Copies of this chain bind each other. A is one copy, B any other.
């Protein structure tokens, strides 16, 4: 019999299919042909080292052996997106958008915001799961640093950090990178999570995600891997096969208020998870993103930041587009067991 489960952070019902359920190993994408891996440097790739002149000027870089911006010698580089979805303009007199009237539809507003690219590594051929722990920690650290910097612009309300792995998940440039879009409003899925978490806090006097963490740990059957600071698990009401959340054990509503060196603790768990995913499901495309408190919200007692990873293994079809209700054809417990039992070829994830 089919099952209905409620996603606690959004309140939405998910159908966990039983009649049409598939075994975990059937989700590996069929590769058309085994392509040779790309070289470490690609002549015309704007994100490769030596091609710094092909991008807008960097806004942040971690570099050891060169003090000069926009030259080789960096380990990580953050640049403005050359084709930005949103742009900062002179807005000292405020944004017309901020005075938008609710029913004034058929009105266009100038899009204000920041769109950046985080080039994770100078090497064209090393993805997140291939980085060393300390390199991956640097990528995560850059997120926090950009958040702190963007918080200085009061017109920006929320910063979405996200990653599209492979073309099928929306990556248009092959070189490993994340993106960041700073928005002048709180987007709808975050708004919904904030509301639910606030309601829970009012009703129960504690953080919903802290409760969820305790329960998931106690039950254990949806846990994929963990260390003393982070828990990676497939949520009870996962909307899509192998959707995974990585949650800090210590309560914190965003990166800036997380425990010191959170990035060093998260790196091995994230790396271990991505390695399992890649090895068990043939390096599938995925979307990865953070859910954080609004910019400048300081420490919120009711919200708990986390990372979500959604492998792209099935097609989101008409029902989901029409209703926002998902049918998951993979049982979360089976998917978690499948990944948990895979020993991965990484030195350590503890």
Q: List, in ascending order, chain B residues with CB within 8 A of A108's CB.
A: 3-5, 16
With known contacts A105-B236, A109-B4, A86–B15 Cβ distance under 8 A: yes
Chain A contact-residue range equals 35 or more
Query: In this assembly, does A8 line the interface, its C-beta being within 8 Å of a C-beta of chain B?
Result: yes
In the complex, what distance in Å separates the CA atom of A246 from the CA atom of B339? 45
Contact partner, A289, options B107, B184, B322, Cβ 8 Å: B322
A164 to B320, CA, bound (A): 11
Bound-complex Cα distance A288 to B321 (A): 9
Q: Is the CB of A327 within 8 A of B110?
A: no
Residues of B within 8 A of A16 (CB): 108, 111
A residues 291-326 near B (Cβ < 8 Å) are: 291, 308, 310, 315-319, 321-325
Q: Does A287 contact B (CB under 8 A)?
A: yes
Pick from B4, B170, B204, B321: contact of A315, CB below 8 A.
B170
Task: Give the interface SS of chain A, mostly helix, strand, loop or mixed.
Answer: mixed
The 0/1 profile, CB within 8 Å of B marked 1, for residues 1-15 of chain A is 111111010111101
Q: Tell me the nearest residue of chain B to A105, going by C-beta.
A: B8
Complex interface: chain B residues within 8 A of A15 (CB): 85-86, 111
* Interchain CB contact (< 8 A) of A1 among B89, B170, B291: B89
Q: What sequence of 0s and 1s flags, for each residue 168-204 of chain A, a beta carbon within 8 Å of any chain B beta carbon?
A: 1111000000010101110111100000000010011
Stretch at the interface among A43-51, A96-104, A135-143, A254-262: A96-104
Bound-state Cα–Cα, A181 to B326, Å: 12
How far is the CB of A12 from the nearest CB of chain B, in Å? 5
Given contacts A86-B2, A200-B103, A188 and B110 within 8 Å (CB-CB): no
Partner of A105, one of B6, B289, B327: B6
Within the complex, the shortest CB–CB distance from A214 to chain B, in Å, comes to 11
A184-240 contacts to B (CB < 8 Å): 184-185, 187-190, 200, 203-204, 212, 215, 219, 236-237
Contacts A13-B185, A170-B318, A287-B322 supplied; 20 other A-B pairs, CB < 8 Å? A1-B87, A1-B111, A3-B110, A4-B109, A6-B100, A6-B107, A12-B188, A16-B111, A19-B87, A103-B204, A105-B236, A106-B219, A160-B323, A162-B322, A181-B319, A187-B324, A189-B323, A289-B321, A289-B322, A290-B322
